[in-house]
Structures are given as C-alpha cells and as structure tokens.
Amino acid sequence: MSGFAVTVEVIDKIWEHTNADSLEMASLVDKNYDLVVMKGQYVSDDVVIFFPIDSILPTNILDAIGLTGKLSGKGRNTVKTIKLRGNISQGIVVSPDVLLDNNISLGYIPPGTNLTDILGVEKYDPPIISSNSGNLVRLPEYVKKYDIESAQDYMYLVYRLMDIPVFISEKVEGSNWAITLLIEDGSISVCQRNYKIVRIDGKEHTWHKAARTGEFFNKIKLIADIVTTWGRDVKAVTIRGEIVGPGIQGNYYNLKEHEVYVFDIELNGTPLSSEMFLMLCLRLNIQSVPVISTYDTLFTQLEGKTLLNYSNGQSLIIDKPKEGVVIKPMKEVIMDEDIGRVFFKQRSPEYLLKN
C-alpha cells in the first residue's frame, strides 16, 4: 500500500455541521475521514486536494489557503485532528483552483494522483530518540521498514474484512522495535523503524536493554526451532513490537521500566498468520499487544458502530484513552503487488484530540 500521501480526491457527501451555521461536514469517495469545511464551499463530486493528518505544509501552501500560523506543531504548519465547534475534522481539503490562483502550477490532475512531492509536503514523524549508546546502520537482510496504513484510506478493503475472522488488537503508543535472527551466521540484530542499532562497547542502548530484559535473545532462537519443526525453511526470524516506557512518546503508560508489546512475528521477512503469532506468544510467554478480539468477524465486532467510533475507548494497559486499534485477518490476506498485505490501523479520534 502506498503510505502517506497528499492526493487528489473527490467529495462524496456534504451534510450539516451540528453546531455551526457557517460550517458543513464533508467526506471523500472511498475514504472514511470526516472533514469540516466552510458552508457552500463544496458539493458532491467536486475534485479537491486532500492533505491528511501529519502533513507538514510548506509556506507557499499555507499562504495560499490562509492557514499561516494556524495549524499545529512547533512551526504551526502541521495538520492534526482537531475539533471545530464540537465536530471532529481529520485533514484539510483544498480546491485545486486555490493553488492555481497562487501561482502553483498543477495542470490536469485526475483523482488518485499523488501530489506529495510536487507540492513539497512532508510527513511528520516523531523524532528518533538520540543516543550515544548505539550506532545506526542499514537494516539487516529480510527486515523492511515497517509501515501500517490507516483504514480510513482503504475503506473498500476494510469492507472485504467484514465477513471473515479477524484479529483486533489495541494500537500501542510507543516506538517501533524489532529483533532479527539470521540463521546462516547466527547473528542477532536489534532495530528501530529505519535502522539496525549496533552496540557500542561498554554501553547498552535502550532497545538492546529491552531485548535483554524481555529475554528476546533466547526467545527468538526458540521461535526458529519451533518453526523448523513445522517443516518450514527458516532463513530469518523477526519479532516486531512497540517499545514503551520512560523517554518514549511521553511515556503514555506511566511505566518505570521499558517494555515491549509484540505485534508481529515474521519468517524470512513474511509475517506469520495471527493464529501462529498468538500461539507462539502464548507458548513462549511473549507479551503481545493487548488483544481485543480473535476469530470474530469485523462486522460482528462493530455491532453497528462505525470503525471510527469502535476505535475509541479505554486502553487495556492504563486507564486512559487507547491510541486506536489494529485489524488483521486471522489468516494472512495478500492482494496484488500494489496492495500487498491487508492489515490496518484505526487511530481513535478521542485519543488524537487529547494528544
């Protein structure tokens, strides 16, 4: 799946704002975002440019749409979930004409076009925690940069999961963590999202400490042994999780020590099914992300709610709003090369408003 992108979209529906005569609500075709817009600004089938949450807008775009100094972040230039007169808005839509009128030349832009690079928009990512206790190098073989897409961008695929058994877990607010065992040479690597973390003599990086205290150096070898007994050709095993605790994302769960909540186990770079994942976590006493549901269909779990509403609620880790949910088929579903693995996150609007 394509990941973060500023795209050309089409207005689907327009409806009344619940608490403002000068505002309306809008949605986009094949997406599941509620957007607050000015009344009368758009009608159904209008073509717009959609700036999703976490877009960092350049100065010329901010000037063109009249939002200079009015957004979020240190530079007041980052799109975040907000509440306008009581209604949640998740992103910004702009008519292409507005940018054309401000000397930003786009030409003809069909729906679906990715304008991220053309418009100079960047994605906000939480800063990497700097450390002098480990060197960052290229990710090892069989380990790719981890990304999970928002369900709101792929509603047509979400509908395909409505009637099949799914694994739903709590989305944990932390930083990406992984450990990989390469069978050929027996090497074990600890990684963050973009890099392998190489030890510095006499020092221990937080990610390495979490691997040690969680006994992952041993458990990853046990996973390799178990999977081998299944008759699988094991070249590499990767355990992926979220590391949480002091100094990480504001220590949302108020922990005194670092912990890892595991969400995936991969064999040769390919995720094992949710069934196998849960079985291995149980067998080896691996702390998985909090489990909300297994084997129910998504339709059954929603009980008539929207996915947005379903993602709200309290965390299973602490008495605070959970960040959201992650939804995967119990048995892996792989689409074509463009889509790949079918799994989604849905971040909670209630959480986003408070964080």
> 75-119 pLDDT, tens per residue?
999 999 888 888 889 999 999 888 865 555 566 678 888 999 989
d(CA 56, CA 173): 21
Question: What are the tokens at 308?
Answer: 């947005």
Identify the pLDDT of residue 77: 95
Angle between helices 274-284 and 216-229 (to 10 degrees): 120
Identify the pLDDT of residue 327: 96
Q: Please, what is the Cα angle at 338 between 337 and 340, to 5 degrees?
A: 60
SS3 197: strand
Whether 181 contacts 221, CB under 8 Å: yes
pLDDT band at 135 (very low <50, low <70, confident <90, very high): confident
Nearest to 291 by CA among 167, 173, 169: 169
Does 192 score more than 60 pLDDT? yes
Identify the pLDDT of residue 28: 94
Identify the pLDDT of residue 336: 61
* Average pLDDT over every residue of 310-316: 97
Least confident piece of the model among 52-66, 136-150, 177-191: 136-150
Q: 111: which residues sit within 8 A by CB, 6+ positions away?
A: 8, 9, 10, 29, 47
Least confident piece of the model among 15-24, 124-133, 191-200: 124-133
Identify the pLDDT of residue 136: 85
d(CA 315, CA 320): 6
Identify the pLDDT of residue 106: 61
pLDDT band at 340 (very low <50, low <70, confident <90, very high): confident
d(CA 183, CA 336): 29
Angle between helices 206-213 and 216-229 (to 10 degrees): 60
* Average pLDDT over every residue of 167-188: 96
Average per-residue pLDDT for the chain: 91
Does 128 score more than 80 pLDDT? no
* Average pLDDT over every residue of 302-327: 96
d(CA 23, CA 77): 22
Residues 178-195 as b/e (b if ≥16 CB within 10 A, e otherwise) read: bbbbbbeeeebbbbbbee
Q: 75: which residues sit within 8 A by CB, 6+ positions away?
A: 56
Whether 209 contacts 258, CB under 8 Å: yes
Whether 353 contacts 320, CB under 8 Å: no
More confident residue, 156 or 52: 52
Does 285 score more than 70 pLDDT? yes
Question: Which amino acid is it at 13?
Answer: K
Question: What are the tokens at 177?
Answer: 């963590």
Does 321 score more than 90 pLDDT? yes
Question: What are the tokens at 63?
Answer: 């000037």
d(CA 142, CA 278): 22
- Burial of 145 (C-beta count, 10 Å sphere; 0-12/13-18/19+): exposed
Nearest to 262 by CA among 181, 352, 170, 198: 170
Question: SS3 breakdown of the chain: % helix, strand, coil, rounded to 5?
Answer: 20, 30, 50
Name the helix (H) or strand (E) containing 339.
Answer: none
Nearest to 140 by CA among 176, 177, 194, 211: 194
Q: What pLDDT, in 10s, does the model give residues 236-267?
A: 999 999 999 999 999 999 999 999 999 999 99
Identify the pLDDT of residue 2: 56
**Whole-number percent of the chain with pLDDT over 90:** 69
Name the phi and psi angles at 308, rounded to 5: -60, -50
* Average pLDDT over every residue of 280-289: 98
Identify the pLDDT of residue 100: 65
Domains annotated for the chain, with CATH where assigned, are: 7-123 (2.40.50), 134-354 (3.30.470.30)
Name the helix (H) or strand (E) containing 113.
Answer: none
Q: 17: which residues sit within 8 A by CB, 6+ positions away?
A: 23, 24, 25, 36, 39, 85, 87
Q: What pLDDT, in 10s, does the model give residues 12-39?
A: 999 999 888 899 999 999 888 889 999 9
pLDDT band at 1 (very low <50, low <70, confident <90, very high): low
* Average pLDDT over every residue of 345-354: 91
